[in-house]
């Protein structure tokens, strides 16, 4: 690592000044840090500043827009037979939006984060490719990032702008193909079967997105969703890549196990403990053996994935099965009444979202994070630290009919879990069944 480039000092000063101006103008950063302890509207202010909340809600929101036809509805994909799939992904989305709006930032290492504190535990949400040259990654604490790159330019979130850019990008994607499956604000699958030369189509799509938004997009092309997504990894940043069906098998062998869909941290560990180190190792196991070790579905899915087999289709949004709201940061209670009051806010939040979605529900789940024995000070400021996760579900005879009904059931479950109020580090409420 180390500095890949020497930046022009005057330009860097100007860029830093611009970033400082953006932070000063950011409403979210006004005032002292808030928690459930000192902010009566903590649930609301937390959600308005949470990037994970923004990301989590995006898909739901966009799917509603598509289902209601506001931004053009999806049509079914062309049916069985050879397909051509695009996986479209805007490059380091949040960072790109900032860079596109402020020419001073281009070519300099930049990250999106709530705090610029070089000693702090604020998490980096998005880092541009210049910053990545220093080893800076999403999820890193600011303290670590500033050690790697003291010159790092830190800009605050701009959720309104992300929304605008995302909608523009989606309009362009839907003009390219009527069959679009949203994955996130910055990522979608397109079925472009029969729409002409895929490489030209992808070039035009990327050019259109860049012209409209100032942000670059990468496109992976493949005969199924898995291969298309793999192709995107090769295409990034600001590129496109077509992995032909004939090369798919060898492409799979070049991957790490953790690159396979469904293989995260825990499954990687599990596979390693079984002596499986590579995709080739995985291919050597029979489907039955994988199923015996990992479960029926998981084993079969891995057997398929290791061979580049993926039978999913690009699908329109499905009917929602659950809806929930949770807060696992800044949760500190001084009394049982504090916890009860907080649950009331969450119940209102869930009830409001149910109303907005026009759904009902019969099953209410309470999720709790309980401080693990002996763990008092999380590494992350106001974080939940190391916790045990607990949950309880209550089923109503009739669909829940008010925030108060939800609140009452939630309080009963909270009581039944017997967690001292001072040990609670996170709370969530979710509604399911019969939505």
**Considering CB under 7 A, how many residues would be counted as binding DNA?**
84
**Which of 74, 109, 330, 344 forms a contact with DNA (CB under 7 A)?**
330
Residue closer to DNA (CB basis): 130 or 187 = 187
Question: Is residue 355 at the binding interface for DNA, with CB under 7 A as the rule?
Answer: no
**Which of 203, 286, 389, 415 forms a contact with DNA (CB under 7 A)?**
389
Binding range to DNA, per CB under 7 A, among 78-86, 215-223, 238-246, 288-296: 288-296
Question: Is residue 297 at the binding interface for DNA, with CB under 7 A as the rule?
Answer: yes
**Which of 88, 152, 221, 325 forms a contact with DNA (CB under 7 A)?**
325
**Which of 109, 222, 299, 308 forms a contact with DNA (CB under 7 A)?**
299
Touching DNA, residues 146-175 (CB under 7 A): none
Binding range to DNA, per CB under 7 A, among 189-197, 316-324, 337-345, 403-411: 316-324
Q: Are 257 and 282 in contact, with CB atoms under 8 Å apart?
A: yes
Helix residue ranges, H only, 39-196: 42-49, 51-67, 93-101, 129-132, 142-148, 159-176
Please state, in angstroms and rounded to a whole number, the distance separating the CA atoms of residues 166 and 162: 6
**Which of 225, 327, 400, 414 forms a contact with DNA (CB under 7 A)?**
327
Residue closer to DNA (CB basis): 239 or 434 = 434
Question: Is residue 16 at the binding interface for DNA, with CB under 7 A as the rule?
Answer: no
Residue closer to DNA (CB basis): 107 or 234 = 234
Question: Is residue 381 at the binding interface for DNA, with CB under 7 A as the rule?
Answer: yes
Residue closer to DNA (CB basis): 197 or 412 = 412
Question: Is residue 265 at the binding interface for DNA, with CB under 7 A as the rule?
Answer: yes
Minimal distance in Å, beta carbon 397 to DNA? 12
Please state, in angstroms and rounded to a whole number, the distance separating the CA atoms of residues 51 and 162: 11
Please state, in angstroms and rounded to a whole number, the distance separating the CA atoms of residues 123 and 358: 34
- Would strands 85-90 and 187-191 be described as parallel, antiparallel, or unpaired? antiparallel
Minimal distance in Å, beta carbon 337 to DNA? 22
| Residue tagged active-site, from 99, 123, 130, 187 | 187
Please state, in angstroms and rounded to a whole number, the distance separating the CA atoms of residues 419 and 433: 27
CB burial class (10 A; 0-12, 13-18, 19+) of residue 293? middle
Question: Is residue 395 at the binding interface for DNA, with CB under 7 A as the rule?
Answer: yes
Touching DNA, residues 39-98 (CB under 7 A): 45-47, 49-53, 55-57, 59-60
Residue 287 in tokens:
């489907």
Touching DNA, residues 203-262 (CB under 7 A): 229, 260-262
Question: What is the side-by-side order of every strand in the sheet holding 126-127?
Answer: 126-127, 110-112, 153-155
Binding range to DNA, per CB under 7 A, among 65-73, 184-192, 194-202, 241-249: 184-192
Q: CA distances (Å), 278 to each of 238, 259, 262, 285, 288, in order?
A: 29, 10, 15, 11, 19
Full DSSP string of 351-414: HHHHHHHT---SEEEEEEEEE-TT--S-SSTT---SEEEEEEEEE-SS---SHHHHHHHHHHHH
Count CB neighbours of 248 within 10 A. 20
**Which of 19, 85, 112, 122 forms a contact with DNA (CB under 7 A)?**
122
Please state, in angstroms and rounded to a whole number, the distance separating the CA atoms of residues 255 and 109: 28
Minimal distance in Å, beta carbon 361 to DNA? 11
Binding range to DNA, per CB under 7 A, among 73-81, 189-197, 239-247, 381-389: 381-389
Residue closer to DNA (CB basis): 18 or 304 = 304
Tell me, yes or no, if 187 is annotated catalytic: yes
**Which of 390, 399, 411, 434 forms a contact with DNA (CB under 7 A)?**
390
Residue closer to DNA (CB basis): 252 or 263 = 263
Minimal distance in Å, beta carbon 231 to DNA? 13
Q: Which residues contact 156 (CB under 8 A, 6 or more apart)?
A: 22, 23, 26, 28, 29, 112, 113, 114
Please state, in angstroms and rounded to a whole number, the distance separating the CA atoms of residues 106 and 215: 12
Please state, in angstroms and rounded to a whole number, the distance separating the CA atoms of residues 85 and 224: 6
Minimal distance in Å, beta carbon 323 to DNA? 4
Please state, in angstroms and rounded to a whole number, the distance separating the CA atoms of residues 188 and 181: 6
Question: Is residue 376 at the binding interface for DNA, with CB under 7 A as the rule?
Answer: no
Residue 10 in tokens:
């005057």
Residue closer to DNA (CB basis): 82 or 379 = 379
Count CB neighbours of 91 within 10 A. 19
Question: Is residue 310 at the binding interface for DNA, with CB under 7 A as the rule?
Answer: no
H/E segment holding residue 296: helix 296-306
Question: Is residue 348 at the binding interface for DNA, with CB under 7 A as the rule?
Answer: no
Q: Residues with catalytic annotation? A: 187
């Amino acid at each position: 690592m180390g500095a890949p480039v020497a930046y022009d000092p005057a330009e860097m000063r100007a860029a830093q000044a611009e970033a400082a101006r953006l932070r000063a103008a950011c409403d979210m950063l006004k005032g002292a840090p808030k928690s459930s302890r000192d902010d009566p509207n903590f649930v609301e202010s937390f959600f308005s500043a949470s990037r994970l909340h923004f990301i989590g809600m995006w898909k739901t929101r966009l799917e509603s827009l598509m289902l209601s036809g506001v931004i053009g509805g999806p049509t079914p994909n062309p049916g069985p037979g050879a397909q051509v799939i695009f996986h479209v992904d805007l490059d380091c989305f949040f960072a790109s939006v900032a860079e596109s709006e402020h020419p001073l930032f281009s070519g300099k290492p930049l990250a999106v984060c709530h705090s610029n504190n070089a000693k702090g535990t604020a998490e980096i949400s998005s880092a541009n490719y210049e910053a990545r040259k220093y080893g800076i990654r999403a999820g890193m604490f600011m303290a670590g990032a500033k050690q790697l790159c003291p010159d790092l330019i830190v800009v605050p979130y701009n959720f309104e702008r992300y929304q605008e850019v995302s909608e523009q990008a989606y309009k362009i994607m839907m003009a390219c193909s009527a069959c679009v499956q949203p994955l996130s604000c910055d990522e979608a699958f397109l079925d472009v079967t029969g729409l002409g030369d895929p490489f030209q189509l992808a070039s035009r799509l990327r050019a259109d997105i860049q012209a409209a938004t100032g942000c670059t997009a990468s496109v992976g092309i493949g005969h199924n969703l898995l291969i298309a997504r793999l192709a995107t990894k090769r295409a990034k940043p600001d590129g496109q890549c077509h992995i032909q069906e004939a090369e798919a098998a060898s492409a799979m062998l070049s991957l790490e196990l953790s690159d396979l869909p469904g293989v995260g941290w825990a499954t990687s560990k599990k596979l390693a403990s079984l002596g499986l180190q590579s995709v080739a190792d995985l291919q050597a196991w029979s489907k039955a053996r994988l199923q015996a070790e990992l479960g029926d579905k998981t084993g079969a899915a891995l057997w398929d994935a290791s061979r580049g087999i993926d039978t999913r289709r690009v699908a329109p949004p499905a009917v929602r099965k659950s809806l929930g709201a949770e807060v696992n940061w800044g949760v500190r209670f001084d009394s049982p009444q504090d916890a009860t009051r907080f649950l009331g806010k969450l119940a209102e939040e869930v009830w409001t979202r149910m109303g907005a979605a026009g759904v009902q529900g019969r099953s209410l789940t309470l999720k709790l994070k309980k401080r693990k024995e002996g763990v008092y000070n999380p590494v992350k400021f106001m974080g939940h630290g190391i916790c045990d996760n607990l949950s309880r579900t209550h089923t109503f005879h009739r669909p829940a009919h008010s925030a108060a009904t939800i609140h009452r059931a939630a309080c009963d479950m909270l009581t039944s879990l017997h967690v001292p109020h001072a040990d609670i580090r996170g709370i969530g409420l979710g509604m399911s069944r019969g939505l």
